[in-house]
Amino acid sequence: MSKGKLSAKTFLNNINNKFDDLSDLKDFSTISLDDPRLINKTFNIEDLTLNESKNNIEQYQELKIILETASACQISDAVNAVTGESGVIKGLKSINNQRAYGRVVTSKASSKDWGASLLAIDAAKEGDFLLLSTTGEPAAVWGELASTCAKEKGIVGTAVYGATRDIDVLLHLDYPVFALETLPNAGKPSGIGELNVNLQIENYLISPGDFIYADESGVVIVQKSIFSKVILETLKIKINESKIINQLKAGKSLSTIVGLK
């Protein structure tokens, strides 16, 4: 996913180029996020992928435009509305100011074993998001070669609950990376970690197939069991924020809008 937010027009062009045999793709100019029909829909996590969507092309497009115009802040607020928790994995920060979202493929390994990261790439499918959890002495398990490999496979991004390196290259590579820290040193490609296992990170139990949304503000995890509710809450938040912005432009103060005065 490229740096910055993808406009509806650009997203539509990308979809049309990839699926030019699908004549019934809906023009995004006709999709309104404040359409009351959207609030009554059930967005399944399978709808993230057109080929896996159990509904239809229109639902796939609607979900994508919600997510493409959302932010980690809005997703976190939505998770909080559903669960009372933020969903934020504290400490994980964007390394190269990019954004990505997708279903999680997990890996758990020693920080001395960057080979486990390569096995995670092999296990992932196009559109997946890698979440790598490391333990032990600080060492990088991700960098230029892994990012290039993952990008070529169609993986959308990587979050390392540990360290990454090769920042001089990652800053200019069109592949989103998130990590706790950056280090120049790395271990060896032993490849003895665990793949697609549940990860206990802070207060969150993260399972393979859960949803992750990450941007410059941070990384938010959404359990697949609450995915639909979180998407609908995100939509409501986006609609409400749009109304607030219109009121601000009309001259009202934010303190008045939120009820402080």
CATH of the domain at 163: 3.50.30.40
d(CA 95, CA 20): 35
128-135 and 100-110 as β-strands: parallel, antiparallel, unpaired? parallel
Domain count, the chain: 2
Residues 217 and 123 in one domain: yes
Q: Are strands 211-215 and 100-110 parallel, antiparallel or unpaired?
A: antiparallel
What stretches in the chain show pLDDT beneath 70?
Answer: 1-36, 53-55
Are 134 and 161 a contacting pair, CB within 8 Å? yes
- Amino acid identity of residue 101, one-letter, is Y
Query: Is 1 contained in some domain?
Result: no
Global pTM reads 0.85
pLDDT for the residue numbered 260 = 86
pLDDT at 38 (0 to 100): 73
Question: Which pLDDT does position 3 carry in this prediction?
Answer: 42
Domain match, 20 and 75 both: yes
Same domain, 76 and 97: no
Structural domain span for residue 100: 93-221
With respect to residue 196, please indicate whether it lies within any of the assigned structural domains: yes
Check residue 252 and give its pLDDT. 84
Which residues are CB-neighbours of 136 under 8 A, at least 6 positions away? 110, 111, 112
pLDDT of residue 21: 37
Quote the pLDDT of residue 9. 44
Region label for 49, one of left (φ > 0), alpha (ψ between -120 and 50) or beta (otherwise): beta
pLDDT at 52: 76
User: What's the pLDDT score for residue 40?
Assistant: 74
Q: What is the pLDDT of residue 108?
A: 97
For residue 59, what pLDDT is reported?
85
b/e per residue 57-68 (b: at least 16 CB within 10 A):
eebbbbbbbbbb
